[in-house]
Structure 1
Amino acid sequence: MRAQFFYGTLCHPPLLEVVLGRIPPMRPARLGDHAVHWAAGESFPIIRPQPGAVAEGLHVPDITAEEAARLDFYEGGFGYQVHPVDVVHDGARTPALVYMPEPGMWRPGAPWRLEDWAARWGDVVVEAARDFMAQRGRRSSEQVLARYPMMLTRAGARLRARHDPGPAVVRRSPAPGDVALSRLETPHAGFFAVEAAGLAHRRFDGAMQTGVTREAFVMGDAVTVLPYDPVRDRVLLVEQFRAGAWARGDANPWSLEPVAGRIDGAETPQEAARREAREEAHLDLRDLRFVARYYPSPAAVTEYLYSYVALVDLPDSAAGPGGLADEAEDIRAHVLGFDDLMALIASGEVQNGPLLVTALWLSRHRDALRAGA
């Protein structure tokens, strides 16, 4: 047995249960001369020495060897190692171990509060932790950490899918037991992953279809947004090299598209749309109009898209380079008249599905948008 002091996300009982395997008896405790801050740009906190400060947290006196190994795997992925400290509980000092980051690995941000973190990140991090802990014994903590941003993205996608599955007027309304999983393997886990599942599912005649093997290319949810200037009647498209087109053998792997990108773990689709517009086209979006949400290829790809039209001002100067250099993005923005966009669609130069869907929506609503402007 060992005693542990938690000061950050593991003070959140649902997360501690996933990582530890149970919710143990805990008691409030304090670590003097230490302060807790957000790790800058991340979804978790760091603790660091600070004379006169006090880190509030929880003391768990009875961590088993197996539970310690689980904690070491989870915390080790983020570069945290245990250090002995003395914490104060009910006025008495008691020894414990605390996870502290490797010096210089993370930069401190604003002061951290559990309530703030739980409100924005709690559900997503708990969901991602299930994926993280499932890799124990298969991959190292460092290998799992490399995929953690994508784990958060996938966790957010699963939560949205679970909470809002969409209507079922014509299609089947599933009941418990309609899909039964017998085997799940992950033969590849990079930025994206491939999962191979053995399952059974309910047939339309009521029987179970057994012995089914399916593979899925696992991605996160994403957002697309087509900037439209209703006064000038023009749109902004982005152009960039696309690995999918290149891997297919397309003679021209440069693609005309709407602004698009992954929805990060705790983002809403609308927040992601605004962020991506700033990153890819240096645009601040003021008015988002929802177009549709959909699977572009549900037979084998988990990606789910939220598409929007954004009402913006598009002067000639809106065209030009964009993207983030640190993400190896090489993007060119084009400002085109609406009729020019439709001509590109008719000629086949536009081959991007979300752009086709969004252009169809815009063609139906264009007159009303222009009248409203």
Structure 2
Amino acid sequence: MADLFFYGTLCHPALLDCVLGPERGGVTGEPAHLTGYAVRRVAGQDYPTITAQQGARAAGVLARGLTAAALARLDFYEGGHGYSLRPATVETAEGPRPAQVYFPDHVQTPDGDWRLSDWVADQGAVTLLAAQEVMMAFGQRPAAEVARRFPQIRARAASRLRAATPGPTALRHRARDGDVTIRETRQPYAHYFAVEEFDLTHRRFDGTISAELSRAAFIAPDAATVLPYDPGRDRVLLIEQFRVGPMARGDRQPWLLEAIAGRVDAGETPEQTVRREAQEEAGLDIGALHRVHGYYPSPGSVSEYLYSFVGLADLPDSAAGLGGVPGEGEDIRAHVIGYERLMALLDAGELDNAPLLLSAFWLARNRDRLRAEA
């Protein structure tokens, strides 16, 4: 058995429950503090670090009764992010006690105070969902590999959090608790994206429960798109880039014309995403955003949900050119074309991806209004 002192996110009981899983039983916790240290926010991040500071006291929780199996789960969760256990003496109501503490292996720049209550309110829910996916990989993949995928894991967690708000049900079945029962979930592949397999039952339209079904889904985080439109010049900006999806299908024309698009990162709104991506992909400032729709492009097998917008922008001839983030392997060409040519390309079939098609149709319906308002 071992005792560990937690000073950061693992002080959140729900997160500790998730990480320990079946090893949670028998572990007790009590308030404690580590003298000569302070808990500070890591610069530019939402998680804490612990730094030596004379006269300070780092408050936290002393977890007692951790088994070797529990320690293995904790090491998997923390170790992939560059934290190692070191011995320390913590103060409890009963006096000093020896404990192990996760200290960072590398220098972290502190920037202001970090409070557990603020973190739980802002990041607790998405972190808990991300931890569930992380711990699915325990015993299956190395901790360092999972840590490299953590931004994608958090983005998918944020997608699940947004999906928890149900959409309208004026015509379709209104789902209730017990309508879907998942007996087992597996993740046979996980990298930038993931594939998950489910053994499940669901309620049928006649009220009965289906036989157990095995289904697989391609797990991708939410994404957002924007079609820049200049109502004064009556122009749009399209981007062109190589796409692996058409290549994998065997399409001899894997360069596509698209709206600007990107993954919605954790802690980011779809609106913030499209403004960031417009800068990265085309060096473009987007003004007012008009929502086209939110939708699943391929709900039979893909979890991705898209938020599409038309964004007002200034589009002189100089807005065309090359862009993208080289470090992310992006090679992007921007085209500035008139509205009539956009419609001609649509009619000719050269616009062949759903976000751009939907945005072009929305623009056709709302173009006169946007020009009048401008």
1:304/1:171 Cα in 2 relative to 1: closer, same or farther (>3 Å)? same
Q: Find the counterpart in structure 2 of residue 175 from structure 1.
A: 176
Say which SS state the counterpart of residue 64 (structure 2) adopts: strand
Match of 2:98 in 1: 95
Q: 1:271 Cα shift?
A: 1.6
Runs of at least 5 residues in structure 1 that lack an aligned partner in the other structure: none
- Residue 83 of structure 1 is matched in structure 2 by 86
* 1:37-93 Cα deviation digits (max 9, x unpaired): 31x5555333344x4373623131514113322211110121211011233456955
Q: Do 2:39 and 2:114's aligned partners in 1 also have CA atoms closer than 8 Å?
A: no
Whole-Å Cα distance in 2 between the matches of residues 91 and 204 of structure 1? 60
Distance in 2, Cα, partners of 1:57 & 1:271: 35
Partner residue of 2:66? 64
After superposing the two structures, state which structure 1 stretch, 19-28 or 299-308, moved more: 19-28
TM (norm. structure 2) is 0.91
Q: Distance in 2 between matches of 1:110 and 1:91?
A: 33
In structure 2, give the amino acid aligned to 1:145: A
Corresponding position of 2:142: 140
Q: Distance in 2 between matches of 1:285 and 1:12?
A: 39
Per-residue CA deviation, residues 345-366 of structure 1 (Å, 9 max, x unaligned), is: 1111111110000111111111
Match of 1:159 in 2: 161
Match of 1:52 among 45, 51, 54: 54
**Taking every aligned residue pair, what percent have the same amino acid on both sides?**
49
Map 1:278-357 to 2 at 5 A. Answer: 278-357=279-358
Deviations 1:146-189 (A, max 9, x none): 22111111111111111x22111111112222222223222211
Structure 2 residue identity aligned to 1:73: F
Structure 1 residues 269 and 17, CA gap change in structure 2 (3 angstroms)? same
CA contact (8 A) 1:226 1:258 kept: yes
The AA in structure 1 aligned to 2:17 is E
Aligned-residue CA RMSD (Å): 2.1
User: Which ranges of structure 2 fall in alignment gaps of 5 or more residues?
Assistant: none
**For 2:229 and 2:257, how far apart are their aligned partners in 1?**
15
The 5-angstrom pairing of residues 234-313 of structure 1 reads 234-313=235-314
Per-residue deviation, residues 248-291 of structure 1 (Å, max 9, x unmatched): 11111111111101111221111212211121112232311111
Aligned residue for 1:68, secondary structure, equals helix
| CA-CA distance at 1:341 after TM superposition | 1.1
Within a 5 Å distance, the mapping from 1:87-126 to structure 2 comes to 87-89=90-92, 93-103=96-106, 107-108=108-109, 110-114=111-115, 115-126=117-128
Distance 1:134 1:308, change over 3 A: same
TM-score, normalised to structure 1, is: 0.92
In the other structure, the counterpart of 2:29 is 25
CA distance in structure 1 between the partners assigned to 2:283 and 2:216 by the alignment: 38
Partner-residue secondary structure (3-state), 2:211 = strand
Deviation track 1:201-244 (CA, whole Å, cap 9, x = no partner) reads 22212222213221111111110111111111111111111000
- SS of equivalent residue, structure 2 residue 102: strand
Q: C-alpha separation between the residues in 2 aligned to 1:347 and 1:17?
A: 56
| Counterpart position of 1:3 | 3
Task: Tell me which amino acid in the other structure corresponds to 1:280.
Answer: E
